[in-house]
Structure 1
Amino acid sequence: MAVRYTVPGVSTKDAEQLIKTLQKRLSAYNDLHLTLKHVHWNVIGPYFIAVHEMIDPQVDLVRGYADAVAERIATMGGSPSGTPGAIERDRTWKDYSIGRDTVLAHLGALDLVYNGVVEDNRKAIAAAGEIDPITEDMLIGQTAELEKFQWFVRAHLEDLGGNLASTDSSTEKGAAEATRTDA
C-alpha cells in the first residue's frame, strides 16, 4: 500500500522506506515481549523470583515500544501490522529455543536475543537518522533502555573477572549450555 500522506517535512518516498524499517522493529518488539513472557514463565532454580520479577517490567516496556512504533507508522501514513503472521514474515532470527530451564540458562540465551534486537535497532537508528530525527530519537530512547535491560541480564552471567558465561556462544542453546558448565 502506497503512502498517500505523511508527517510534514518527510517525503512520501522517505516515509515508505522508514515505515518498512519501523514495521521490522514492531515485529521484533512483539516477538521480544512474547519471548520475555516465555522466559518469565519458564525459569526455575535459585534466583527464580528475582529474575521472574525482573522480567515483567521489561515485558511492559517492550509492549509499550511496540505500541509507540505502531503509532509512529500510522502517524507517517502507514498501516502497522501486529499480527503473528507479520512477526513470522519479518523475522530474521530463529524462534526462541529454550523451554523450562534454569535462570542462568535462560539469561544466557536472552543475552543473545538482546544482542540481535539491539544490533537491528542500531541499524534502524542509522536509517531513521537519514530521514526523520523524530523517529530516530524514539528509537534511540528505546535502544538505550534495551541496553540497560541487557546489562541487568548480563549482571547475572558475569564472573568477578568481568567475563560472561555465554560470551563465545552463537546459539541460544549453546549459551544456555555454557552457563551450566561455567556455573
Structure 2
Amino acid sequence: MHPTSHDLSKQVRQSVVGLLQDNLADGIDLVYQVKQAHWTLRGPNFIGLHELLDQLHEQVEDKVDLVAERISVLGGQAEGTVEASAGRSRLPKYPLDAVAIEDHVAALSKAFAAYAKNHRAAIDEASEAGDEATADLFTEIVRMADRALWFIEAHKPVG
C-alpha cells in the first residue's frame, strides 16, 4: 500500500482494494468481451447491435477507469494488465468461435449478468468494511450493467 492521509484505516483500505482488484479484472475482461462481439458479429440487424456495443464498450471502460482510480485513491496499486486480469476475472469465458448475433447476445448476456452480480455482492462487502464511497461506486456500476443487460437482451428473439 502506498502512504496516504486517507482517513480509512489501512486494514479497511487493504480489504477494499482487494475487492476492487477483483472487480477491476472483471471489468477489463468485459471491455474485451464486448469488443470481441463488436468485431466479429454477423447477421440481421448487424449495424444496430454493432453501434450499441461501441456505446457499451465506452461505458464499461469508463467504469474500469473509476475502479482503477479508486484503488489508487485508497493507496493501492491497480493491477490492470490483460495478463493480470485474465488470471483474476470471474466472468464466463467468451466463445471465440461466436459469429451469429444470437450467439454473441447469449454470451454478452451471461457476461453482463455475472458482472452485475459480482458488483452487487461487492456493494455489501464494501459497506460492511466501512467504505460507503466504494459501495456507492459499485452501485453506480450495477446500474450501468443492469441497463446494458436490458439493451443486449432486447436483441433476443421474442417468445
TM-score by length of 1: 0.81
Could you say which residue in structure 2 is the equivalent of 1:148? 147
Q: Is the partner of 1:53 in helix, strand or coil? A: helix
Q: Is the partner of 1:45 in helix, strand or coil? A: coil
Could you say which residue in structure 2 is the equivalent of 1:31? 29
Query: Conserved in 1, the CA contact under 8 Å of 2:26 and 2:90?
Result: no
Higher relative contact order (CA 8 A, sep 6+): 2
Q: 1:58-77 residue pairs with structure 2 within 5 A?
A: 58-77=56-75
Q: Does 1:42 align with 2:40?
A: yes
Percent sequence identity is 28
Could you say which residue in structure 1 is the equivalent of 2:54? 56
Could you say which residue in structure 2 is the equivalent of 1:84? 82
Q: Alpha-carbon deviation of 1:39?
A: 0.3
Which amino acid in 1 is paired with 2:76? G
- The number of equivalent residue pairs is 158
Give the Cα–Cα distance (whole angstroms) in 2 for the partners of residues 53 and 115 of structure 1.
20
Query: Conserved in 2, the CA contact under 8 Å of 1:36 and 1:58?
Result: yes
Which segments of 5 or more consecutive residues in structure 1 lack a partner in the other structure? Answer: 161-183
Which amino acid in 1 is paired with 2:99? D
Larger radius of gyration: 1
- Deviation >3 Å, runs of 4+: 2-6
CA 1:148/1:93 → structure 2, altered by over 3 Å: closer, same or farther?
closer
Query: Conserved in 2, the CA contact under 8 Å of 1:48 and 1:103?
Result: yes
Q: Is the partner of 2:36 in helix, strand or coil? A: helix
Query: Conserved in 2, the CA contact under 8 Å of 1:5 and 1:76?
Result: yes
Query: Conserved in 2, the CA contact under 8 Å of 1:44 and 1:100?
Result: no
Structure 1, residues 98-148: CA drift from partner, whole Å, max 9, x if none? Answer: 434111111011111112111111111111112211111111011101100
Q: Does 1:115 align with 2:107?
A: no
Q: What value does the CA root-mean-square deviation take over the aligned residues?
A: 1.5
Q: Alpha-carbon deviation of 1:158?
A: 5.0
63-72 vs 84-93, which deviates more? 84-93
Could you say which residue in structure 2 is the equivalent of 1:132? 131
